[in-house]
Chain A
Amino acid sequence: MANLTDRIKISDRLAGVAAWLVLQFFRIFEIPLSLIQRIVGVRGMPWIFLLPNLAFFGLFVVIPLCINFAFSFTGGTDLFLSDRIYTGTEQYGFLLDCETFGDPITCREDRFWKGLYNTATFTVFQVTFLVLFSMITALILNREIRGRGFFRAVFFFPVLLSPVVVALIWKWILLRDGIMNAFLVSVGLDKILFFVSPEWSMFWAVFVSIWAHMGFYTLILLAGLQAIPPDLYEAAEMDGTSKERVFWRITLPLLWPNLLVVVVLALIKGVQIFDEVFVLTGGGPGTATQFIVQYIYNTGFTEPVRNFGLASAASIVLGLVLFVLTITQLAATRARDNG
């Protein structure tokens, strides 16, 4: 008993010392903060506390955004804005100059439109199957199955990997001398060149992207499924509702807000696709898997003549698309919050 009391006393004393140290540490800020408060007033203090974050946000988001916007109205290869030639909306005009918008070949900057077309194709397939597979996986993982926790972890693990690592893993599997072909040869089959045809390249880009991101969307849908009160299913059971009708009339409508968020988030991510596909296919064969972000990257940074103005204009166009999608996502989230 005496030992216990001694121990409590020691821990109390240590806690007291720690509290004193913390207090002294914060006292360092007391003088400058009270000085600032005297200058900006109490109402201005929240802005002082927000300042580090605002500075960071301004430096790495707002200022580049503004510079990018300004660049999109300039031409030439100079890096500094002051050296660049003002061209007005010429870059936008160049990007949007098409005889038929549905056919990239008829556009002056066909690579931009090809990138846009590829991105749209990729996004449609990726989002459709991503949502479908995530939904099926969430529905299965929501049931009382053996090893449910294990499978939930397994499906989520790829989300923890960097996109580049994901692409390298699949490249290692699918390349001409990858393990998939090694396996095929070992069972007496011919090698398959997985990245030779445009269709197969697009298929693998979609497949790998789904594999990498499915866990995240499954998690959102699983959370939505678990938020549906079990009583509703029991009430439906008492009402004599068939399993199909339970899904269509109860599960799906109640999951709809989550599903909407998933679709919009997947759309935004789909439109932004770059790194994993760039590492996996390099945009090839040809420009079959070259997406809009890669077009911007190539135009601005990898080509012999770095066309910053055009890349900036393309970024602004992409930004507008993302803005529309983000607004949709916000509206969807609000709809979910309002039940």
Chain B
Amino acid sequence: MTEIQLKQIRKSYGNVEVIHGIDLTVNSGEFCVFVGPSGCGKSTLLRIIAGLDDVTSGTVEIDGETVNGVTASERGLAMVFQSYALYPHMSVYKNMAFGLENAKLPKAEIDRKVRDTAELLQITDYLDRKPKALSGGQRQRVAIGRAIVRDPKAFLFDEPLSNLDAELRVTMRKELSALHAKMGDTMIYVTHDQVEALTLADKIVVLQKGRIEQVGPPLDLYNKPQNVFVAGFIGSPRMNLIDATAVAGPEGLTLTAPNLSVFVGKIAGLEAGARCTLGIRPEHVLLNTGGTPDTTCEVIFTEQLGGETYLYCDVEGLPQITIQQVGQLPFVKGQSLELNFARENLHVFDADGQVLVNGLGG
């Protein structure tokens, strides 16, 4: 069981700083997912932990020991690459045994470890095959097997499922989750897919432009985003974000935008006349409740997913609003809908994009 700590990690390529002083602790046995858009620095951070890239400043600690000058192999970590990085000229068995041979383990022990791991991952039948004779999912299993067989302190995954098709990705996601539950090892997983992050992680680290935007359990990030970026990034379909102005009224503040008026009462830190961003998830937009609508929109497009229906609506002067409804609802293009935003799920962010409130408390 291994704890990994990053302290004030900075990384520059020439004059360009890509990681801007990151502090993070990955607890022992935790499944930690780094998520963020392309170029946010998540893979760089993983490579820094692995020892494949040096830090410009800051320290990486594994179980309390600084490993900055320690080579990748001596850190005792194992990495699963996006491309699998299997040695194409070696059989599955040789691929898995290669690291153990480097460590000069006895042949019998290597054989036992490889076969035990192959059994765990159900790849025993493919041990004699070359990687090119395997499917994407099988290759991925071999890559994971190559990591497991070394009995590392922690596992590092660099977008390991991104080369798989959607169905296989779901299967492998479940298998990875089960594997983590079974082994209980520390795992750090990089992905740009927030669904993967939400389904796999004990802890999610949302990164943007080399900075951590928020760290927390998946549902915390979903329910209580700390800023506009996390609010927009986590969740699919993404949260509706509308720029508004706080207008004072006799009973409190109302957030107004063209063709939109949302009474919010009192919000700490938000004063009359201030600019803010109002956030509401698609499933929290209520249709035709009968009361005074917050806004009225026109349906421009619908997506029927069987169990639920997505509506994409236009309100003049506002960005497109996405609505998620349970069931198969027969909306047609051009239909007018009255919308209300559920106050207990309404998020309000200040002009700098930082959260003011996550839910108005019913």
Contact = CB atoms under 8 A, between A and B. Distances in A.
A328 interface: no
Contacts of A229: 83, 85
Given A239-B150, A254-B88, A339-B132, A234 B81 contact: yes
B167 interface: no
When A and B form their complex, which 8 residue pairs have the shortest distance between CB atoms, in order from nearest? A240-B73, A239-B99, A231-B85, A235-B85, A253-B89, A240-B102, A237-B72, A231-B81
Interface residues of A, number: 18
Contacts of B260: none
Contact of B79 (A232, A238, A339): A238
Interface string A225-250: 00001011011111111100100011
Contacts of B85: 229, 231-232, 234-235
Contacts of B52: 234, 237-238
A242 B88 contact: no
A239 B89 contact: no
A240 B99 contact: yes
Given A231-B81, A231-B82, A241-B99, 12 more contacts: A229-B85, A231-B85, A234-B52, A234-B79, A234-B85, A236-B98, A237-B71, A238-B73, A238-B99, A239-B98, A239-B99, A239-B102
A240 B88 CA distance: 18
Interface SS, B side? loop
A232 B86 CA distance: 7
B314 to A, nearest CB: 33
B78 A240 contact: no
B290 to A, nearest CB: 55
B158 to A, nearest CB: 9
A156 B103 CA distance: 41
A338 to B, nearest CB: 10
Contacts of A238: 50, 52, 72-73, 77-79, 99
A179 to B, nearest CB: 44
Q: How large is the interface on B (under 10, 10 to 19, 20 to 34, 35 or more residues)?
A: 20 to 34
Interface in B38-72: 50, 52, 71-72
15 contacts: A231-B83, A231-B85, A234-B52, A235-B81, A235-B85, A235-B86, A236-B98, A237-B72, A238-B50, A238-B52, A239-B102, A239-B150, A240-B73, A241-B73, A241-B99
B62 to A, nearest CB: 14
A339 B89 CA distance: 9
Contacts of A239: 73, 98-99, 102, 146, 150
B87 A232 contact: yes
B81 A240 contact: no
B355 to A, nearest CB: 39
B74 interface: yes
A239 B50 CA distance: 11
Q: Which of A234, A238, A242, A250 has the most CB of B within 10 A?
A: A238
Nearest to A228: B88
Contact of B87 (A242, A250, A339): A250
B88 A339 contact: yes
A138 B307 CA distance: 59
Contacts of A231: 81-83, 85
Interface in B79-108: 79, 81-83, 85-89, 98-99, 102-103
Q: Which of A234, A235, A236, A339 has the most CB of B within 10 A?
A: A235
A333 B208 CA distance: 47
Contacts of B50: 238
A241 B79 CA distance: 14
A235 B85 CA distance: 6
Nearest to A254: B89
A235 B88 contact: no
Interface in A65-90: none
Nearest to B50: A238
Contacts of A235: 79, 81, 85-87, 146
A106 to B, nearest CB: 47
B51 to A, nearest CB: 8
Nearest to B152: A238
A229 B85 CA distance: 8
A208 B83 CA distance: 44
